[in-house]
């Protein structure tokens, strides 16, 4: 008998079905999220002061809705939190450290985006800040957004995505 990825059993020709259960196993998986590093036409970047815990500075972003692509979620979250219509430019990286969010295990796809508008705080944003890239690392970021900021600053020079950072490294 073979099993596919959704837990259904497939029987080979001539093989009788068994009384084995093929019900789906419940898994506790990370929750997908997105973050947008938004560049404005004057070169400044958009960050928000979070209205909800954990409080602090963050890039606009949030949870992906069921049936929504990561890209569409990023565009929606940016609009909800900043009022900006954004154009996604690049995927900066995937951030999956199980400790990145104190509320629960999340996995974030961080995108670099551009916008020509003027942001206004909305939804989960208490306020919006505009900062130059040079001031980015002076901010009191929450989650792992300082790491995203460092990766973004490297991307500006190299145009390379963030490197993989597995938490379990094999010894040489």
Domain map (residue ranges) of the chain: 32-158
- Residues 23 and 122: their CA atoms lie apart, in Å, by 42
Handedness of CA 48, 54, 56, 59 (dihedral sign): negative
Share of the chain above pLDDT 90, in %: 78
Lowest-confidence region among 3-7, 42-46, 108-112: 3-7
Predicted pLDDT at 25: 84
Give kind and range of the element (H or E) at residue 89: strand 87-95
Structure tokens at 70: 């990561």
Handedness of CA 142, 80, 42, 109 (dihedral sign): positive
Superfamily of domain 32-158: Nucleoside Triphosphate Pyrophosphohydrolase (3.90.79.10)
């Amino acid at each position: 008998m073979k099993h596919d990825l959704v837990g259904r059993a497939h029987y080979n020709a001539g093989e009788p079905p068994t009384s084995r259960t093929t019900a789906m196993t419940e898994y506790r998986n990370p929750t997908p999220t997105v973050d947008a590093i938004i560049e404005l036409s004057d070169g400044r970047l958009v960050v928000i002061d979070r209205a909800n815990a954990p409080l602090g500075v963050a890039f606009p972003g949030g949870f992906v809705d069921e049936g929504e692509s990561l890209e569409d979620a990023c565009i929606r979250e940016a609009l909800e939190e900043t009022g900006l219509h954004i154009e996604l430019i690049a995927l900066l990286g995937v951030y999956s450290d199980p400790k990145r969010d104190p509320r629960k295990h999340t996995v974030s796809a961080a995108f670099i985006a551009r916008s020509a508008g003027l942001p206004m705080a909305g939804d989960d944003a208490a306020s919006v800040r505009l900062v130059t890239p040079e001031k980015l690392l002076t901010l009191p970021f929450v989650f792992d957004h300082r790491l995203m900021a460092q990766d973004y600053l490297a991307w500006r020079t190299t145009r390379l995505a963030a490197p993989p950072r597995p938490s379990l490294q094999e010894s040489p």
